[in-house]
A and B are shown apart, each in its own frame.
Chain A
Amino acid sequence: MKNVLVAGGGIGGTIVANRIAQKLGEEISRGEVTVSVFDRSEHHYYQPGFLLVSMGVMEPKETSLPEREVLDRRVKLYTGDKGTITKINVGDRQLITADGVIHRYDVLVLATGSHIQMDEVPGFSQGAETFFSLDGARKMLRAVQSFTGGDIVVDVALLPHKCPVAPLEITLMLDDYFRKKGIRDKVNIHYCYPIQGVFGIPNVNKMMLGLFESRGINIHSQFTLASVDAANKKIVSKEGEELRYDMLVAIPPHKGAQVIADSGLGDRRNWVPTDKYTLRLKDHDDVYVMGDTTDIPISKAGSTADYESYTVSHNVAVDIKGDGSKKTYPGSVFCYIATGMDQATYIKFDYNNPPTPPTPSQIHWWGKLAYNKLYWSIHARTLI
């Protein structure tokens, strides 16, 4: 019996487990292979939907389903203490879970994700809204709907973070929301970014600078957040700039999972050293890493994990069968970018071909909504 273990039941872990089960269906039915997913939670969250929840476009209930309903029936699921991984021992090919059980693997996939660190910036938790959690998105929606005027500051604290285009999206959606509400003249929107410009890819940055200028959005960059004074509603940058706010929207720092640190596998931010082509843990041929978990400088996004899952699932199947040629990951990423409450553009790129975002349109907005709606029925269940 060979064991394929998947650490993490988010977008990456779920999709890759389903693809592996499809590729190893015969071996599983003959009792030669097991595929298992480990996650603390019984629920699967579609985190890209939180942005739309915070602006009232999606309902909170649309962003989660029981993980068991999403996983292929041939995949075993461990949750609660049984699914909470406390240690990964790559030397002995073991996972240890909170119930004390040792799980041995032949192939391991690390998909433990990235996690927000609101407390890393003093005052963030007390003074800011954030749509990077479901509860935060719900709370932010109430703040947006009751906002009658003043200064809104969108601050990106540290790069890289999950869903890199989300700060652009929330800024442009807020702008459009208040225009449509007829009070944009009473709202000042500020965008603070820790490097020069508003985004890291040059031609996307150029397009967004033009959009921000035409919409009257104030850009503060380079603005490296130092602290938040929640009592006096102001933020201060390491460069010495001070900004007052009536609503602060936080894009908090992110880290890899704590179990990565506890297992000595990552850097100081718990990103796992990963070969950008093979998606293997460096120096280990029986451990794959995918999604937000890696240290690959690309994009911590659901689509990245989805694209990577084709490579990882294929190569896991080859490893298990001991036959076939391996695939490499070309660096594919696809992200819709909302540019308002009814328009969007998108970026599609890989390691060798930078993106060329099309002119924003309502067509791409509907594409974004359709992608979100179809996630549960098409993408998570890997029908394509």
Chain B
Amino acid sequence: MSSLKVYKSIDATSSSCSGPIGELSGAMNDALPSECVEIIVGDPATRDDVRVWAAKTGNRVVVDKEEQGKFRIIVEKVK
């Protein structure tokens, strides 16, 4: 955990025009391979969306935790 290089952290618990996946995809575009983006989402459906997006884009979920009713997910850029 302490060795993860988190490039950016996104609080995606509020409404956003790009949506959580749009914000995540934008940040991952700028991350370097092996760097991570942390995203906080407010519901389990969005957490599932993040997991699906990560799998579809060939990236890796390295942390997925429920904390105080929110979900903290860290996605590592693989390529």
* Chain A contacts to B: CB under 8 angstroms: 158-160, 164-165, 194-196, 199-202, 205, 222, 224, 267-269, 276, 297-301, 331, 333, 349-355
* A196 contact from B11, B16, B17, B21, Cβ within 8 A: B21
Q: Quick check: A195 and B15 within 8 Å, CB to CB?
A: no
Given contacts A158-B29, A195-B21, contact A298 B14 (CB under 8 A): yes
Residue B33 at the A interface, CB < 8 A?
A: no
Residues in B4-42 with C-beta less than 8 Å from chain A: 7-8, 10-12, 14-23, 25-26, 29-30
Residues from chain B with a CB closer than 8 A to the CB of A352 are 14
Separation of A354 and B20 alpha carbons in the complex (Å): 13
How many whole Å from B18's CB to the nearest CB in chain A?
A: 4
Given contacts A159-B25, A195-B22, A276-B11, contact A200 B30 (CB under 8 A): no
Q: Quick check: B26 and A201 within 8 Å, CB to CB?
A: no
How many whole Å from B75's CB to the nearest CB in chain A?
A: 14
How many whole Å from A348's CB to the nearest CB in chain B?
A: 11
Q: For residue B46, which residue of chain A has the nearest CB?
A: A202
Residue in A268, A350, A354 whose Cβ sees the most chain B Cβ within 10 Å: A268
| 16 contacts across the A-B interface (CB closer than 8 A) | A159-B22, A159-B25, A160-B17, A160-B22, A160-B23, A201-B16, A222-B56, A269-B26, A276-B11, A297-B10, A297-B12, A297-B14, A350-B14, A351-B14, A352-B14, A354-B15
Q: For residue B8, which residue of chain A has the nearest CB?
A: A267
How many whole Å from A299's CB to the nearest CB in chain B?
A: 4
Given contacts A222-B56, A268-B30, A297-B10, contact A194 B22 (CB under 8 A): yes
Separation of A277 and B38 alpha carbons in the complex (Å): 20
Q: Count A-B pairs with CB separation below 8 Å.
A: 81
Separation of A196 and B20 alpha carbons in the complex (Å): 11
Residue in A297, A299, A352 whose Cβ sees the most chain B Cβ within 10 Å: A297
Question: With A159-B23, A354-B15 given, can you name 11 additional A-B contacts, CB distance below 8 Å?
Answer: A159-B18, A200-B21, A201-B17, A202-B19, A267-B8, A267-B30, A269-B30, A276-B11, A297-B14, A298-B16, A351-B15
Residues from chain A with a CB closer than 8 A to the CB of B15 are 201, 298, 331, 349-351, 353-355
Residues from chain B with a CB closer than 8 A to the CB of A269 are 26, 30
Residue in A195, A199, A268, A301 whose Cβ sees the most chain B Cβ within 10 Å: A195
Q: Quick check: B14 and A201 within 8 Å, CB to CB?
A: no
Given contacts A269-B30, A276-B11, contact A298 B22 (CB under 8 A): no
How many whole Å from B49's CB to the nearest CB in chain A?
A: 8
Residues from chain A with a CB closer than 8 A to the CB of B26 are 158-160, 269
Separation of A165 and B22 alpha carbons in the complex (Å): 13
Residues from chain A with a CB closer than 8 A to the CB of B20 are 200, 297
Residues from chain B with a CB closer than 8 A to the CB of A300 are 17
